Chain A
Amino acid sequence: MSQCSPLKLHVPEPTGRPGRETDFSYLNLSPAGAVRRPAIDTPPLATVDVADALVRVLDDDGHAVGPWDPKADPQLLVAGLRAMLKTRSFDARMVVAQRQKKISFYMQSLGEEAICIGQVLALEPDDMCFPTYRQQGILIARGYGLVDMMCQLLSNDRDPVKGRQMPVMYSSRRHGFFSVSGNLGTQYVQAVGWAMASAIKGDTRIASAWIGDGATAEADFHSALTFASVYRAPVILNIVNNQWAISSFQGIAGGEAATFAAHGVGNGIASLRVDGNDFLAVLATSRWAAERARCGFGPTLIEWVTYRGGAHSTSDDPSKYRPADDWQRFPLGDPVARLKLHLLATGALTDDQCTRMQQEVDEEVVAAQKEAESYGSLASGHVHDASTMFDDVYRDVPAHLVRQRAQQQA
């Protein structure tokens, strides 16, 4: 006779909810500088400890410590800070623009800026990124025009994707930024395919794949890991664990029983779990993964532990499902403030320079917005002509679409 009590379905529940503070001990943080730095050619299974710990470089005083200190050129870090400030300023203005009904929808990356910007600074300019909708920092760090971005958001007749996509679904081959899909996870396995192609052609370029903690539950994520491992594809597999997938916390995606990085190890992929709010840790681990990929040692999966500082999108109200002050209490802090502290502590920047940099990026964003809005918007009816909706379905417009265009134009 069994001693077991009747079975009960386990549904993971976050420790914090509105009115109840989150207990962040589940993050299982490691002290700055405490995690080892494996050799570039380390076998995947030998990364099991670094997939469970948390790589951190910056201590509480803003000093870089431990084996992962990238010993980066201060000017590179200053450039990283500028891109982060610009991204945050851009996001803030666009959230307001959505509230003013100038754009139909927006998604900010508040609190996550260090991750994609730090990685881009570790990549070559022609390495290819397959982003989600929250990696606008890649475009900003790679110098895509703010006006072009805003014209996409405004869906006006200068929108580079011709009004075909909701705001934030950018595309720029020239900046190594694959067209953002609204279907989650699809880009992850495509990135692996791109990386396989690079290897097939004997190229030196690598791919960078992006996904959130929530979408790791998609089949495409698991196929991506299998293909990346099997073909030893030169790809960095990034998981941005910002703790929330709209209203479901990362436990619902599978983060309760194992770290997301551990998924990589089990698939035969070298994996790291990294403080995503620590710009120096992002830079150092991205460089490690990029070098590993470029040298033919295969893929690296990196789980970036961070926090979604804002709402999922402008259509979302997080006060309904998580504590209002959760981000302020998040133990890994704010990536912008932490990099700033480091640059001030090392003397790479002064307070005045920081203030001036903030003013400069704000002015740049304001000027770009002024120019972009002068070209009109979806609201003002300045959109690509309706007849263009029949273009680009196929390379050439087939007969049935010629007929339908004529009907639409009649």
Chain B
Amino acid sequence: MASMTMIQAIRSALDVMLERDDNVVIFGQDVGFFGGVFRCTDGLQKKYGTSRVFDTPIAEGGIVGVAVGMAAYGLRPVAEIQFADYFYPAYDQLVSEAARVRYRSAGDFTAPITVRMPCGGGIYGGQTHSQSPEALLTHVCGLRTVMPSNPYDAKGLLIASIECDDPVIFLEPKRIYNGPFDGHHDKPVVPWTGVPQSEVPDGHYTVPLESAAIFRPGTALTVLTYGTMVWVAEAAVRETGIDAEIIDLRSLWPMDLDTVVDSVTKTGRCVIVHEATRTSGFGAELTALVQEHCFFHLEAPIERVTGWDTPYPHAQEWAYFPGPERVGAALRRVMETA
């Protein structure tokens, strides 16, 4: 067992699957010889050859479209979209094709593809390198949307995604590629080394889809979150001293509702945290689900802490990012309600 960054863990998952299954192929912009702009596929082309790991033209719709065709042939393609902000040209192929071909053909054709996309901000990427478009994906029936928060889960979830017979969108929060960022951007960068979740086995293992993790057990309230914001929520809990239970959803949709309902039923209070814009964001769905399933156990209104409903700004990044202060303030407000 070695300590790995998210990048190393993702690369290890891809390596394991290329080794185990001849039908796994990896492609995307710059993923071949160069190994990806974030280095997630570094060395894989050299190890497995150009017909298993290769560069593509800059055409996201084409990348996902050929993945659907390869899946119809019988392959298990793993496509990389260089930034989630660039996936929109592929939306038709994801929504109308990958997500629906099993349904519309009554199982005659399927699309077991995995589409990896780095997402989220915190890197001064401005409005074209910072978005968290998960709600545009969780809204689509037939897709699975996954977002890990640490190296161990990243590898296990990515292997589970590649092995899954449904199309999976695998969102990688780029700010935590190299360390567990807690939102304190003015403090020194923390590496993954020494963080328990960075201990990653070399070989094959999975973290099951549709299973949430209780990241931090607690009794006072429930925080529902995922990705980078798991670490931000933990910082807010630490700084406020509120004994919150933090649930890392991991699989956004379909999701592990039981773990959520059990927790909110126990605590009676719920704060939902995500980096994406607020209106019609995934937090709205979580709010509705908690209201539908836990209403009579709630002792306070559900709060959402999210990015503002603006494009992700460049120079005002930290005013936009829902950091530990904003999360902490929400935790206090929810606790102050009688």
Contact = CB atoms under 8 A, between A and B. Distances in A.
Interface of A: 128, 130, 160-162, 164-165, 169, 171-173, 178-179, 181, 183, 186, 188-201, 207, 219-220, 223-224, 226-227, 230, 392-395, 398-400
Contacts of A392: 102-103, 106-107
A394 B57 contact: no
Contacts of A200: 25, 51-52, 70, 75
Nearest to A190: B69
Contacts of A207: 69
Interface stretch (B1-9, B59-67, B199-207, B306-314): B59-67
A219 B61 contact: yes
Nearest to A388: B106
A173 B106 CA distance: 11
Contact of B66 (A162, A171, A227, A398): A227
Contacts of B33: none
A196 B70 contact: yes
A190 B68 contact: yes
B254 A186 contact: no
B256 to A, nearest CB: 8
Given A178-B109, A181-B97, 13 more contacts: A161-B105, A171-B104, A173-B105, A183-B92, A183-B96, A186-B65, A189-B69, A189-B93, A191-B69, A195-B69, A200-B25, A219-B89, A393-B141
B165 A165 contact: no
Contact of B59 (A172, A181, A199, A223): A223
Interface of B: 25, 51-52, 56-57, 59, 61-62, 65-75, 77, 89, 92-93, 96-97, 101-110, 141-142, 144, 164-166, 210, 254, 257-258
Contacts of B57: 223, 226-227, 230
A190 B97 contact: yes
Contacts of B104: 161, 164-165, 169, 171, 179, 181
A72 to B, nearest CB: 30
Contacts of B69: 130, 189-197, 207
Given A190-B97, A200-B25, A395-B165, A227 B62 contact: yes
A223 B70 contact: no
Contacts of A178: 72, 109
Contacts of B257: 399-400
Contacts of A195: 69
Contacts of A395: 102, 110, 164-166
Nearest to A177: B108
A172 B108 contact: yes
Given A171-B109, A226-B59, A194 B73 contact: yes
Contacts of B62: 189, 220, 223-224, 226-227
B54 to A, nearest CB: 8
Nearest to A198: B73
A141 to B, nearest CB: 19
A394 B68 contact: no
B254 A400 contact: yes
